[in-house]
């Protein structure tokens, strides 16, 4: 009986290696091929857990070239695991294009639950978590200003990823577009030894990081805009 090929997305720890799941280790050991965003980074993880499967490079610069070869291997019956440098593949990391193509070809896709930076940052921020919007990394240059203008009236809690060298500038732009007194939280190096959680107004955080230059992975949580009062009739009245 031929083995059925499929793609399996395997989240990897965002910092603390103990956050990997037993199921993730089992899948990585059993996979025929492991696609890795950076084989040098992931080889350390593999060595730590005694996983000896061959790593194959799969990142944003080569994913279009390697796509059809990967699809062909899965259709031949191989089970391929996809991992990113940290967290869940496809969330601000390579993965979407491959998943979409597998779906278009009728190939089974499985995704393990596991580490991602945005949810721990949201929960620990103390800001409303019942409704939120994940923006990931903002566009560069003019596209960034346009996107922030579109988000100025967003009432849901907003989650952004940002690089450390652009953090202070990003907070300055948030203050300009959202208001300097808007509550926010900056989470840095989540789950790692030097994890840092800073809460305050956007202005206070901007002032802090203009003096204290950060390093590592950054997640920014920003409170949504106050909901505007409306004089419209309550929709529920139509059903009374």
Residues 28 and 69 in one domain: yes
pLDDT 10s digits, 173-198? 999 999 999 999 999 999 999 999 99
Q: Is residue 229 part of a domain?
A: no
Structure tokens at 136: 């990931």
Is 153 within 8 Å of 63 (Cβ atoms)?
no
For range 6-33, the mean pLDDT: 95
Range in 55-64, 156-165, 209-218 the model is least confident about: 55-64
Count of structural domains, the chain:
2
Q: Is the pLDDT of residue 231 over 60?
A: no
- pLDDT for the residue numbered 94: 85
Residues 124 and 88 in one domain: no
Percentage of residues of the chain with pLDDT beyond 90: 79
- pLDDT for the residue numbered 1: 40
Residues 18 and 75 in one domain: yes
Q: Which of 40, 52, 46, 98 is nearest to 73 (CA)?
A: 98
More confident site: 169 or 93? 169
Report how far residue 230's alpha carbon sits from residue 220's, in angstroms, rounded to the nearest whole number: 30
Residues 135 and 181 in one domain: yes
Residues 52 and 130 in one domain: no
DSSP code string of 35-66: EES-HHHHHHHHHHTT--PPEEE--TTTHHHH
Q: Is residue 17 part of a domain?
A: yes
Q: Is residue 237 part of a domain?
A: no
Report how far residue 160's alpha carbon sits from residue 98's, in angstroms, rounded to the nearest whole number: 24
Residues 93 and 123 in one domain: no
CATH number of residue 82's parent domain? 3.40.1010.10
Element (DSSP H or E) covering residue 81: strand 79-83
Residues 208 and 128 in one domain: yes
Q: Work out the end-to-end distance of the chain between its first and last CA atoms, rounded to an integer number of angstroms.
A: 61
Residues 122 and 104 in one domain: no
Q: Is residue 134 part of a domain?
A: yes
pLDDT 10s digits, 206-230? 999 999 999 999 999 999 999 876 6
Q: Which of 188, 155, 156 is nearest to 171 (CA)?
A: 188
Q: Is residue 211 part of a domain?
A: yes
For the whole prediction, is pTM greater than 0.85? yes
Last residue of a domain, one of 85, 111, 137: 111
Q: Is residue 144 part of a domain?
A: yes
Residues 138 and 70 in one domain: no
Q: Is residue 239 part of a domain?
A: no
pLDDT 10s digits, 143-155? 899 999 999 999 9
Residue 134, domain extent = 118-222
Residues 154 and 204 in one domain: yes
């Amino acid at each position: 009986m031929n083995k059925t090929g499929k793609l399996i997305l395997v989240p990897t720890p965002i910092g603390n290696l103990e956050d990997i799941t037993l199921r993730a280790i089992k899948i990585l050991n059993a996979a025929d091929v492991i696609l890795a965003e950076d084989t040098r980074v992931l080889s350390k993880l593999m060595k730590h857990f005694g996983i000896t499967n061959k790593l194959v490079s799969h990142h944003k610069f080569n994913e279009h070239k390697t796509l059809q070869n990967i699809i062909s291997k899965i259709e031949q019956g191989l089970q391929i695991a996809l991992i990113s440098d940290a967290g869940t593949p496809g969330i601000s990391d390579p993965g979407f294009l491959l998943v979409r193509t597998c779906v278009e070809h009728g190939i089974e896709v499985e995704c393990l639950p596991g580490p991602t930076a945005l949810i721990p940052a949201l929960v620990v921020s103390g800001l409303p978590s019942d409704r939120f919007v994940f923006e990931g990394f903002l566009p560069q240059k003019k596209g960034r200003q346009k996107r922030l203008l579109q988000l100025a009236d967003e009432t849901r809690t907003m989650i952004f990823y940002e690089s450390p060298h652009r953090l202070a500038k990003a907070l300055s732009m948030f203050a300009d577009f959202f208001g300097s007194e808007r509550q926010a939280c900056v989470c840095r190096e989540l789950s790692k030894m030097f994890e840092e959680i800073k809460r305050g107004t956007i202005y206070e955080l901007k002032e802090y990081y203009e003096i204290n230059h950060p390093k590592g992975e950054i997640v920014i949580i920003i409170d949504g805009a106050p909901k505007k009062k409306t004089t419209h009739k309550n929709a529920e009245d139509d059903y009374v």
